Structure 1
């Protein structure tokens, strides 16, 4: 199970600060249906006959690394490689099958976009719903509502149902809600720099740079090697559940790009 401690790590001297995050031999398995039923009738027949077949999917395989306070670490890898699963384990949203994570989760904020949005509610209602899911008190949302709307550039659209929004509008609103608060000590960013048009991306990248360079420890997942190279002090490459490389952003991103070219 995940664990927390303030004791020194094996290679830590008494005068060194404790690591912000220690991921130790983390493995994550999921059970998924094999040969899924193609109709409700087939599903009912299989259920009655207990003919469901499952296979084990290994999302993460023995992942270990340490992040020191103040580091900005980029995580890169192709789709389905386990990056988001790893972030959810670190934030406490998932419990690993094996292995341990050392982190003070009271200091952690996992920033994802659009989690908990209800398309049948208005933009205004979704601000309060999404903010509550993130953990904002209603008073905080009341005080920052206008700033959220301005940053998302959605003045005049907040009484519309979100089902009528474009994907870019939803992303802008999700980003504005998620980044309105003060920067936490440990910030985990899951693909948040690909929102909206070019001009909004520039604005969102500037907002994230403010958060990153405010002294926080940051984990940043991105498909963009330029984002990793421009904003991170170290990079980790995870591919098909395995840790392939850890080092300088330039070295790791070059190795990753070579794989993509093959």
Structure 2
């Protein structure tokens, strides 16, 4: 069992078939809160509350390998650890324990507007997003028109992003993420706030990305999205990896779990 806590970014030139390797990874948060005092302890502590520390095991001993060209859906209830796992894959959160290897250029769309500076224009944020994704200014300039056209912001592209609606934020964030020519694309509930037209357009773009033999991780509560876009799926529950396999099989097992409840469920029932 590894005791190393590490996220390693491996250049694309050195990669082989492996896109991502996650080895015995855990992430534990330590949070403090004010415990409500009883009448007796309030008298002893002169009415002051007591500071308590709670550990939250967001991800627990998760391991898996994903090869390049694989599309993986991540499913589970709220609080299962899906978004935490994605942020670790992106290198935003270091694991408390274990090791993560990422082979190639990563592009992320993890939540609405993350990484954007609201005081800057959409155009300026496209440049920042491209530089953060490892592109040169020349490469960003070559891709700019494609990104702007996909986002459909018209004159708003030169206005400060603080003036944007949530839908405008999302369109630009998605356009930047999928047009960075990533080896690995990480998407967390990207389609949750878009209108029907944009959802169709975004789904078509993701299928195009998948069709170029790139690797994609998709977090979604939509079984249809996971089934249509992903070959494989990972089911997380309370930070633990419950099942990994073909997306249809994992979705079926998860739906069964939702129907019978945690107390009545056993992996032996799969």
Tell me the SS of whatever aligns to 2:157: coil
Find the counterpart in structure 2 of residue 253 from structure 1. 251
Q: Check whether the contact 2:6–2:94 (CA below 8 A) recurs between aligned residues.
A: yes
Give per-residue Cα distances to partners, 1:134-188, cap 9 Å, x unaligned: 3333333333222222111111212332222211111001111111222x33332
Find the counterpart in structure 2 of residue 185 from structure 1. 183
Find the counterpart in structure 1 of residue 236 from structure 2. 238
Distance 1:248 1:58 in 2: 27
Deviation of 1:210 after TM superposition, in Å, equals 0.8
Find the counterpart in structure 2 of residue 175 from structure 1. 174
Gaps of 5+ in 1: 7-16, 38-48
Q: CA 1:3 to 1:160, structure 2 compared with 1: closer, same or farther past 3 Å?
A: closer
Find the counterpart in structure 1 of residue 152 from structure 2. 153
Q: Check whether the contact 1:114–1:130 (CA below 8 A) recurs between aligned residues.
A: no
- Which stretch of the first structure deviates more once superposed, 143-152 or 23-32? 143-152
Find the counterpart in structure 2 of residue 103 from structure 1. 102
Q: Check whether the contact 2:105–2:133 (CA below 8 A) recurs between aligned residues.
A: no
Q: Which has the higher strand share?
A: 2
> How do 1:219-230 residues align onto structure 2 when only pairs under 5 Å count?
219-230=217-228
CA RMSD of aligned residues (A): 2.7
Tell me the SS of whatever aligns to 1:109: strand
Q: Check whether the contact 1:191–1:221 (CA below 8 A) recurs between aligned residues.
A: yes
Matched, 1:2 2:1: no
Give the total of aligned pairs. 239
Find the counterpart in structure 2 of residue 53 from structure 1. 52
Matched, 1:131 2:133: no
Given the two structures, how large is their TM-score scaled by the length of structure 1?
0.80
Tell me the SS of whatever aligns to 2:115: coil
Give per-residue Cα distances to partners, 1:176-220, cap 9 Å, x unaligned: 1111222x3333222223352111111111111111121122222
Distance 1:5 1:32 in 2: 29
Give per-residue Cα distances to partners, 1:12-60, cap 9 Å, x unaligned: xxxxx754322221111011122389xxxxxxxxxxx9x6432111001
Distance 2:247 2:34 in 1: 40
Q: Check whether the contact 1:172–1:195 (CA below 8 A) recurs between aligned residues.
A: no
Gaps of 5+ in 2: 11-15, 37-47, 262-270
Q: CA 1:198 to 1:36, structure 2 compared with 1: closer, same or farther past 3 Å?
A: farther
Distance 1:19 1:144 in 2: 28
Tell me the SS of whatever aligns to 1:70: coil
- Equivalent position to 2:212, from 199, 211, 214: 214
Tell me the SS of whatever aligns to 1:174: helix
